[in-house]
Every structure is written in structure tokens, then in C-alpha cells.
Amino acid sequence: MGDHVEISITDDEDGNIGDDVSSWSSDQVACWLRRKGYPEYADAAVNSVYPINGHRLLSLTRNDLLNSPFHMNDQTEADHLNNSIETLRKSQLTKYMKKIELNNGDTHHHHINDTTPFISGEDNIGNGGNNSSEQFPVEKLKTFVAVLYMMFGFVVSVVTLQFVHDRVPTMTEDPPLPDIFFDIVPRRIEGAFSYCESIGMVLTSFTILVAIFHKHRFIIMRRIFFILGTLYLYRSITIYVTTLPVPGLHFKCAPKANGHISLMLTRAASLLFGGGLSVTGSHHLCGDYLFSGHTIILVITYMTIHEYTPKRWWFLHWLCWVMSATGIVCILLAHDHYTIDVVVAYLLTTRLFWSYHTLCNVGVLKEYANSNLLSRAWWFPIFRYFEENVASTGCLPRQFEWPLPWPRRFRNNIAPGRRSPIKGV
């Protein structure tokens, strides 16, 4: 290489950096920042008192990004850029090590790949995406196991309801329990529960779209399937151990099965395939009050959308929050659940969601330790199975892509190793 050779930013066939990054000029650093989706910081790299050249870029730390000349205020954005810089350092180290091997005439060619363990990163430039797939592996088999786990939770909940239904006291024997919300709104609003279920279906559709178009869709699916399966197992316990009377005199409970297994299995299959929704005509059983399954869906769909979409999508976040809150209020306005059913559902769903994602985001919490009290949870081994190969570099990158291999022009318009220009992605 000569004393002065213009270095362009190129990628090799594996998606690795093909240039000597330490020799980049500040203009080339600015070009790299634009390609990674940080155009607002490109000018700062060139026009600062001490321009950011390639050598300075490789030496930047996360704290440097929060100070001059970048002054990044978004913590997630700083994490993502820091990971990208670490990827550059790793790529350069790999390149230099290979050069050393060649210069030393090493015929064994010890395999040094892009997964140098002591340097982490987010993605490589271009369409290689190898490092991303190693940090956030697809692992379809584990996703399938998560589906089976969720279905197991659903089946246990539905079967448990068959026995609980036969234990529900009649309305003449045990009228509805006193409830503060029913005292405030004594008159039931017809159709409110149908509105709740309609809102739930819309939020579920939004969540499915987010998961499908997210770059790390299989990781998201595993997490949500596990949380749903666990919550419905919890629900099977609570509805069985304490049977509450119906919360309203408007209920028309199906006749009791009185131990007829064939009838109970038929009802269970109808409830399962009907999604447990009243609008599908599949739910005529009583007793599944503590806690509310509809509240689970309303809360977890909002939390998933908020967690895995960019902060700049604040309008979607607020819309989904309003829809979720409205759906929960509609449950109470319909007098189809006691207030305690909704409160317990909210508390359990949010705490399990936050606990699970905290374990995902903090690497040290993935290990058994006396100081890690979360490792004492009964589901911690299942969590480790699902998340053991997923990098704990903070929140899952909020990146989206076309999920199908066709039409190719849709996929070609998206660089998997490139940060979206939307802040927070």
C-alpha cells in the first residue's frame, strides 16, 4: 500500500470490512456513519475541532458518544452505534491476524472468524449479516418448542375450566360478590365485551405484523410464546383453587357436564379452536374469572409492540396503549370480570414480561448465582434453553426487513447489517 491511497468503504463477499479502517479520513468516517443510518452525526465527525478519522473512530467508547462532538442523548442509539464500532474493531483484528498468519507462512491457517469472543458488535456493513446471525440466532427448533409450550399452557387452561365450570355455584345460591367498580358503574353496558374482544384482535394483528417484519422475529416469537404459556399455566392454577361466583346476573352458563368426559372434551376443543372468544360463540362456560385472559392479551400485545418497535413510532405506542386501556375498561363495563381479575392479570403479565426481558438483556443474569435471585424461578432452566445463544447486549435491536425471499427487490432495498435511519431502531 502506498503512502497516499484513497480508501473506499467496501465489503468483501462475507460482509467483512475490506479496508484499513484506521487509515480512513474523516470524510470516510462520515460516509460510514451515513451508511449505518446516522446521518445526523456525519457532519460532527468532519467539522469538530478534532475531526474523527478512522483511528479515532476505532478508539471511541460509549461514553465518548455521549459527549462532544456527538452528544447522543438516546441511550439505545448510543448502544447501537457503540456495537457497530466494536464490530469494526473486531473485523480489523481478524484481518490483521490473518495477515500475520500469511506473513509467517502458517500453512495450518488457524480458523479465525468474525466471532472473536472478546469483542462484541451488532452487524457488519453490507448484506453479509453473519455477525448478527451469530449474536441473534434464528433457532427455529427452539421456536417450535416454544409453540408447543404455549399450546400446552392453553390446553391445560381449557381442560381445567371444564372441571371448574361444574363447581361454579348457581346465581341463586351465590350472587355476584361486592366489587368497587360495579358499585361505581352499577349498570352493565351491553356490547362492551364485544368491543373489548375486537380491540384485542386488532392489537393481536399489530403484534403479529411487528413480529413477522422484525429482523429477529423468531427470538420475539419464542419470548412471547413462553410468556403466554406460563401465564396460562398460572391461570389454570388460580381458577381451579378458588372458584368465584359469576360477576353478573346476565351470564348464561352452559349446563354442567357432571363428569361426562366426551362432552367436556367437545367443549374444550370448541373453546380452544374458537380462541376462547365470546364473539366466535365458543365460550359458554363459567368460572374462569381469576384472572382475566382477555387482560393478558390486551397487556402483552401492547408491551410487545412498545418493546420491539422504534421510539420514534410514538404515535403507534400511544394508540396501542389507549386501545389496551379501553379494552380493559370495557371488560369491567360489561361486568364480565371482577376488578381483582383484571388487577391480578395486569400485575402478573407485566412482572413476568419485565423479569424475562431483564434476564435477556443482562448477560450476568443468565447464570446461576447466589446473588441472582431470579435464577431461583422455576422457569429459569427453560429461559436458559431459549436464550442461551442470544447475545445480551441490551435490548434486541429494533430492525425490520422483508420476511420473504421474494420479490427480491424488496429484500435488496434493505441492508440487514445497516441501522435504520429511524432513531431507536
Query: Hey, which residues does 214 pair with through a beta bridge?
Result: 400
Report the b/e string of 315-342 with b at 16+ CB within 10 A.
eebebbeebbeebbbbbbbbbbbbbbbb
Mapping DSSP onto H, E and C, the string for 195-223 reads: HHHHHHHHHHHHHHHHHHHECCHHHHHHH
C-alpha cell at 199: 380491540
Catalytic residue among 80, 214, 216, 337: 337
- As a whole number of Å, the CA-based R_g of the chain is 27
Plot region of 404 (φ>0 → left; ψ -120 to 50 → alpha; else → beta): beta
Catalytic residue among 80, 216, 294, 306: 294
Is 337 tagged catalytic?
yes
| Angle at which helices 217-241 and 192-213 cross, to 10° | 150
Is 341 tagged catalytic?
yes
* Torsion, Cα of 90, 93, 99, 103 (10° steps): -150
334 within 8 A of 189, measured Cβ to Cβ: yes
Q: How far apart are CA 341 and CA 234, in angstroms?
A: 13
Q: How far apart are CA 90 and CA 88, in angstroms?
A: 5
Active site residues: 294, 337, 341
